[in-house]
Amino acid sequence: MMSGPGWHRSAAAIAGVATAAALSSAAYQEISAARDRRRYPPPGCLVDVGGRRLHLLAAGQGSPAVVIVPAMCDGVLTWTRVQQALAAGTLACVYDRSGIGWSDPPPRGGRTPAALADELHALLAAAPVPVPAVVVGHSLGGVIARQLAVRHPGDVEGLVLVDSSHEDQASRRGVEGWEYGRAVYARWMLRRQLRPLGLRRLAADLGLDRELDAELAREVEPRHAAAARAETLSTRRRRVFVRESLMMARLSGGPPSLGSLPLTVITAGEPLPGWLPMQAELAGLSDRSRQVTAEGSGHYVHLDDPDLVADVIRDMIRAASG
């Protein structure tokens, strides 16, 4: 066992190398982030919502408009395929929540679904997007969309939940086979925090991160791949991931009733154990609801079966128009 001055010199050398590597990683990350902001301007418009700007991507025209609320840390680029399909018949909008994509950082304080619903309400008023609209919420976006319907009912004509999260899912560990409790969110946050972004960005720049390349090829159109890679590797995205994971870990209780609001719940055909009972509960929130199963799809139904998602949204548009 090594001891004495030699051991201390070795330990100091190792610590010095680790510190230098960490500093180099951080420096490369900041330089790359500044470069990316110049390279990739927002594809949509930046809307002022009281001293902060939110990025809104709109296509098409007509009403009722469609407003898409993406999943945790997801932004506009993962929804462009569905958006373009809808834009042939109406105004289709998708936005970046604060801190995501091209939107400004969020205000200080904890992130809550109610605050994020108010943020969306402010965006719809300032854009302006014609309301009431058909609101589409995926995963965490479904929680925010339900809050919008309850807090600002004049904004929502109909609601489509795409494999939506449930308000109580962090508290249901061991119930109905569900295994994704608060500890899972904590592991996700820790794993994301410990990953040196600068080193991963360097690997991506050198073409060595094949996992990320495959992920982006599935999630975004080729024309948006470079911008999506830059956003995925941003420090801001990691901060929002931590904040939104904390938000989900703290949630508990049942989802709010939606009364007679037209509601369609799209559920993945290949769900995790314990997911289906929560989806059934969501479908029971309105007395004007239906549930659609996306056979063969995982949680990201709009990527696995974009045609189905677009068709269900069109059905809701027709129902709202009638």
Q: Supply the DSSP string of 145-209, one letter for each residue.
A: HHHHHHH-GGGEEEEEEES---TTGGG-TTSTT----HHHHHHHHHHHHHS-HHHHHHHHHTT--
Whole-angstrom distance, CA of residue 142 vs CA of residue 159: 9
The top-scoring range by mean pLDDT among 82-86, 174-178, 272-276 is 82-86
**pLDDT class for 228, splitting at 50, 70, 90?**
confident
pLDDT of amino acid 10: 53
Answer yes or no: is pLDDT of 297 > 60: yes
pLDDT per position as a tens digit, 157-167: 999 999 999 99
**pLDDT class for 1, splitting at 50, 70, 90?**
very low
Cα pseudo-dihedral 48, 100, 242, 190, rounded to 10: -160
Q: Which domains does the chain have, with CATH numbers?
A: 45-176+253-321 (3.40.50.1820)
Answer yes or no: is pLDDT of 169 > 50: yes
**pLDDT class for 243, splitting at 50, 70, 90?**
confident
Beta strands 289-294 and 263-268, pairing class: parallel
Greater pLDDT, 83 or 201: 83
pLDDT of amino acid 38: 63
- What is the 8-class DSSP label of residue 58? E
pLDDT of amino acid 113: 96
pLDDT of amino acid 67: 98
pLDDT of amino acid 3: 53
Answer yes or no: is pLDDT of 17 > 50: no
Record the pTM.
0.85
pLDDT per position as a tens digit, 47-66: 999 999 999 999 999 999 99
Greater pLDDT, 177 or 4: 177
pLDDT per position as a tens digit, 246-293: 898 888 888 999 999 999 999 999 998 899 999 999 999 999 999 999
In order of 90, 138, 158, 223, 226, the CA distances from 154 in angstroms are 19, 21, 11, 36, 38
What mean pLDDT is predicted for residues 18-42? 56
